[in-house]
């Protein structure tokens, strides 16, 4: 039974099963059995079949320096070669690689041949500016073809990209540049979302002005809108000038399998985001195999993953997975509600999208929109091209699942509810669409080859029906390799001493169903929030709040929200008097804007409540369980006798 009580089984449609790449439970079980009987042999077979190598590997898994595992370490390859050249060699040169729609509806497309030419020109231009293998390059760009070109151009020359979501603030950009020691930033003058122009290059300038970015020697600016944009002559250069006159061929840098393909910063339980480091070969392998099996990708598909390249979903299922599989995919700059909340459905209709992958938050907001404005309901559009739906990033509530299934999928498209993380590189627990009977709200079973289970705090497996910690019991090829600059934090976070290095600890709670063995994710077990499918650390938001001169102390918790999954609720003690009425409202707005400036708009607390102090134990520890209960509006019936200052609860209840 899933968390919200759904037990209804939805069988994969017979027609889907017939044509599926992995077809029927027998095929799934055979793959799992192969992995169980010869774990490294299984992954080695897949790596030989699905990845194109410059030099084949002879070693598979190297555990000598566990938990810093290595896969296929003596092999050499290039990720951009796998995404571009090999498709062209296979006759796909004139196939459309990317169909792009801008915020205002302008269409563009590139074939595999054109994409390779553009990647090579940029790669040559970056090389000409001295950027080389191992250098870190920040990409802070609008969603569009150029963002993908930027990632692949870095991969082409062995530079390590670190994409920063365009919604993050200048300060966040500064922190990432600084931690990565980036030598270059690739950016856009302005991005367009929901009819608004949002400056990106000016934010980079602001980031640099904050200091600590002395490593940056080059800033390449793609002109998207032609908006006002100051250029520093010795440092800043227009994208068009970088690529002008560059040859459309560029020899790939053949890198070792373990060469870092990218860093991607994500939130953890401490204040500082961590640079998750991924390898080239292992990561690419899982991107390819999951794209082929979870999405049952076929040559004629039009694939659309709505994620931004600033998130892991955009890395694996916009850039690397679909392109390495030779797919035609959609890339969209805008938001689902502009010009109206029928935008996604209109785009599916227009471009005949066959596989659609999005976040539960987007689905919930479109349900709400369709309820209030029936004209934008998906049933007004011809969605008959769809054959498969997917969700990612947060739990999907059964009601939203059913709406998606019936109103978008017309009751004939399987839904793959994919559970995974920035750190896992690709899908971990997910239905396979031609195999797995679906239960709304459950991500079902492990991807073939992934060894997952649920344990208690002592590391003992828990029986079905009993909740516990989600762990992975064997290293897998696309796993995080380390945290950039902080290997100790990597060990502490994912291979804590409590489990003697036996398990990868995901940081999520989960429970398995006694009959089906299906996993249901019950939410984070650490101080990480999931707001609209975006990961945020409570301490990150707290640090932002206390950096405001008026704030003495702050505690941040999550509370359930119908639309965004979780909402941020902050309890704040000011240095001055506790504000009430008009003054409180003004201060709330000021603090919200302050957090948006420090981290980004996605981190704005929805509620801010002021107290003269915070509920603490006699030893001075903030009692978060009380704050969580208060945030939810529950009556705090728990024992408050350990509380130093019980009177404060009344103040914070408001």
Can you give the binding site for ligand WTA, defined by CB under 6 A?
A: 266, 311-313, 392-395, 417-422, 443, 506-508, 521, 524, 530, 535
Between CA 150 and CA 647 the distance in angstroms is 56
Q: How far is the CB of 139 from ligand WTA (least distance, A)?
A: 17
Q: Which is nearer to ligand WTA, 216 or 568 (CB)?
A: 568
CB of 607 to ligand WTA, least distance (A): 22
Q: Measured from the CB of residue 398, what is the shortest distance to ligand WTA in angstroms? A: 13
Cβ proximity to ligand WTA, 193 vs 535, nearer residue: 535
- Quick one: the chain helix, strand, coil %, rounded to 5? 35, 25, 40
Our CB check for ligand WTA shows the closer of 252 and 310 to be 310
DSSP β-bridge partners for residue 455: 461, 469
Closest to ligand WTA by CB, 441 vs 475, is 441
Give 88's DSSP letter. Answer: I
Q: How far is the CB of 395 from ligand WTA (least distance, A)?
A: 4
Nearer to ligand WTA, 346 or 427 (CB): 427
Q: How far is the CB of 422 from ligand WTA (least distance, A)?
A: 3
Q: Which is nearer to ligand WTA, 305 or 574 (CB)?
A: 305
CB of 26 to ligand WTA, least distance (A): 25
- Nearer to ligand WTA among residue 519 and residue 610 (C-beta): 519
Axis crossing angle, helix 39-50 with helix 24-37, rounded to the nearest 10: 120
Write down the least CB distance from residue 360 to ligand WTA, Å: 8
- DSSP state for residue 251 in the 8-state scheme: -
Cβ 521 to ligand WTA, closest distance in Å? 4
**Tokens read off for 16:** 């889907």
Among residues 303 and 419, whose Cβ is nearest to ligand WTA? 419
Cβ contact 152:188 at 8 Å: no
CB of 314 to ligand WTA, least distance (A): 10
Closest by alpha carbon to 632, among 543, 562, 537? Answer: 562
Q: How far apart are CA 180 and CA 213, in angstroms?
A: 10
Using alpha carbons, list the distances in angstroms from residue 162 to 183, 330, 388. Answer: 11, 22, 31
Distance CA 538, CA 558 (A): 8
- Helix ranges (DSSP H) in 112-188: 112-128, 145-157, 170-180
Long-range Cβ contacts of 582-586 (<8 Å, 24+ apart): 584/610
Least Cα distance to 54 among 280, 334, 368 occurs for 280
Q: How far is the CB of 328 from ligand WTA (least distance, A)?
A: 23
Q: Which residues pair with 468 in a beta bridge?
A: 510
Measured CA to CA in angstroms, residue 482 lies from 162, 172, 263, 491 at distances of: 15, 21, 10, 8
Q: Which is nearer to ligand WTA, 129 or 524 (CB)?
A: 524
CB of 429 to ligand WTA, least distance (A): 8
SS3 94: coil
* 218 token code pair: 């080059």
- CB 156 within 8 Å of CB 87: no
Q: How far apart are CA 563 and CA 344, in angstroms?
A: 18
Integer Cα distance of 139 and 204 in angstroms: 11
Which uninterrupted H or E stretch holds 624?
A: helix 624-632
Q: 83 by DSSP, 3-state: which?
A: helix
Least separation, in Å, of the C-beta of 508 and ligand WTA? Answer: 5
Query: CB-wise, 69 or 420, nearer to ligand WTA?
Result: 420
Residue closer to ligand WTA by CB (options 87, 316) is: 316
> Shortest Cβ distance from residue 90 to ligand WTA (Å)?
29
- Report helix, strand or coil for 305: strand
Closer to ligand WTA by Cβ: residue 267 or 354 = 267
Instruction: Tell me which DSSP letter residue 21 carries.
Output: S
Of 273, 279, 68, whose CA–CA distance to 179 is shortest? 273
Sequence-separated (6 or more) residues with CB below 8 Å from residue 515? none
Residue nearest to ligand WTA (CB): 422
Three-state SS sequence of 237-248? EEHHHHHCCCCC
Helix 39-50 and helix 281-294, axial crossing angle in degrees, nearest 10: 80
Please say which residue, 110 or 307, places its beta carbon nearer to ligand WTA. 307
**Two tokens, residue 159:** 């530079």
- What is the smallest separation between the CB atom of 356 and ligand WTA, expressed in angstroms? 15
Q: Which is nearer to ligand WTA, 122 or 505 (CB)?
A: 505
Per DSSP, what are the bridge partners of residue 35?
none
Minimum Å gap between C-beta 476 and ligand WTA is: 15
- Rank residues 100 and 421 by Cβ distance to ligand WTA and give the closer one: 421
| Residue (of 12, 4, 5) closest to 405 by Cα position | 12
CA–CA distance, 211 with 232 (Å, rounded to integer):
16
């Amino acid at each position: 039974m899933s968390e919200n009580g759904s037990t209804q089984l939805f069988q994969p449609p017979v027609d889907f099963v017939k044509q599926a790449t992995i077809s029927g439970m027998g095929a799934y079980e055979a793959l799992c059995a192969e992995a169980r009987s010869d774990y490294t042999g299984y992954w080695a077979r897949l790596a030989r079949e699905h990845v194109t190598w410059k030099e084949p590997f002879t070693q598979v898994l190297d555990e000598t320096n566990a938990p810093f595992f290595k896969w296929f370490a003596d092999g050499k390859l290039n990720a951009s070669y796998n995404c571009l050249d090999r498709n062209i060699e296979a006759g796909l040169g004139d196939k459309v690689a990317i169909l792009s729609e801008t915020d205002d509806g302008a269409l563009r497309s590139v074939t595999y041949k054109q994409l390779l030419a553009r990647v090579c020109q940029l790669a040559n231009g970056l090389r000409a500016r001295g950027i080389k293998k191992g250098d870190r390059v920040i990409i802070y760009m609008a969603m569009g073809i150029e963002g993908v070109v930027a990632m692949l151009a870095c991969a082409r020359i062995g530079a390590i990209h670190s994409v920063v979501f365009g919604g993050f603030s200048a300060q966040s950009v500064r922190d990432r540049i600084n931690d990565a020691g980036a030598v270059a930033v690739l950016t856009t003058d302005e991005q367009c979302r929901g009819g608004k122009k949002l400056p990106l290059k000016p934010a980079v300038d602001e980031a640099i002005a904050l200091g600590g970015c002395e490593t940056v020697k080059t800033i390449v600016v793609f002109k998207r809108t032609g908006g006002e944009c100051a250029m520093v002559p010795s440092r800043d250069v227009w994208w068009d000038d970088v690529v002008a006159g560059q040859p459309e061929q560029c020899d790939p840098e053949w890198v070792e399998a373990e060469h870092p393909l990218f860093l991607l910063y994500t939130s953890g339980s401490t204040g500082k985001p961590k640079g998750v480091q991924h390898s080239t070969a292992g990561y690419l392998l899982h991107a390819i195999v999951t794209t082929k099996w979870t999405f049952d990708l076929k040559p004629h598909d039009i694939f659309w993953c709505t994620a931004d390249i600033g998130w892991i979903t955009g890395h694996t299922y916009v850039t690397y997975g679909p392109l390495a599989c030779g797919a035609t995919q959609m890339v969209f700059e805008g938001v689902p509600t502009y010009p109206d909340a029928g935008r996604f459905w209109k785009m599916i209709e227009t471009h005949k999208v066959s596989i659609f992958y999005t976040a539960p938050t987007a689905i919930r907001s479109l349900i709400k929109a369709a309820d209030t404005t029936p004209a934008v309901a998906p049933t007004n559009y011809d969605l008959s091209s769809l054959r498969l739906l997917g969700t990612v990033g947060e739990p999907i509530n059964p009601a939203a699942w059913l709406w998606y299934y019936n109103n978008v999928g017309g009751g004939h498209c399987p839904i793959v509810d994919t559970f995974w993380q920035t750190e896992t590189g690709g899908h971990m627990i997910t239905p396979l669409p031609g195999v797995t009977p679906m239960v709304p709200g459950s991500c079902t079973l492990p991807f073939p080859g992934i060894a997952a289970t649920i344990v208690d705090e002592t590391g003992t497996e828990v029986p079905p029906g009993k909740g516990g910690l989600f762990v992975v019991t064997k290293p897998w090829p696309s796993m995080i390799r380390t945290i950039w600059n902080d290997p100790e934090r990597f060990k502490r976070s994912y291979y804590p001493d409590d489990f003697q290095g036996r398990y990868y600890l995901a940081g999520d709670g989960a429970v398995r169903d006694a009959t089906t063995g299906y996993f249901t994710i019950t939410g984070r077990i650490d101080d990480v929030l999931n707001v609209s499918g975006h990961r945020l650390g409570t301490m990150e938001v707290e640090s932002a709040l206390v950096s405001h001169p008026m704030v003495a102390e702050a505690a941040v918790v999550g509370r359930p929200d119908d639309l965004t999954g979780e909402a941020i609720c902050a309890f704040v003690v000011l240095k001055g008097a506790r504000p009430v009425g008009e003054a409180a409202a003004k201060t709330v707005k000021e603090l919200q804007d302050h957090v948006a400036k420090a981290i980004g708009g996605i981190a704005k607390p929805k509620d801010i409540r002021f107290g003269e102090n915070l509920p603490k134990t006699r030893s001075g520890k903030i009692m978060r369980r009380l704050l969580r209960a208060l945030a939810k509006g529950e009556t705090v019936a728990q024992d408050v006798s350990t509380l130093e200052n019980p009177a404060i609860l009344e103040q914070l209840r408001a």
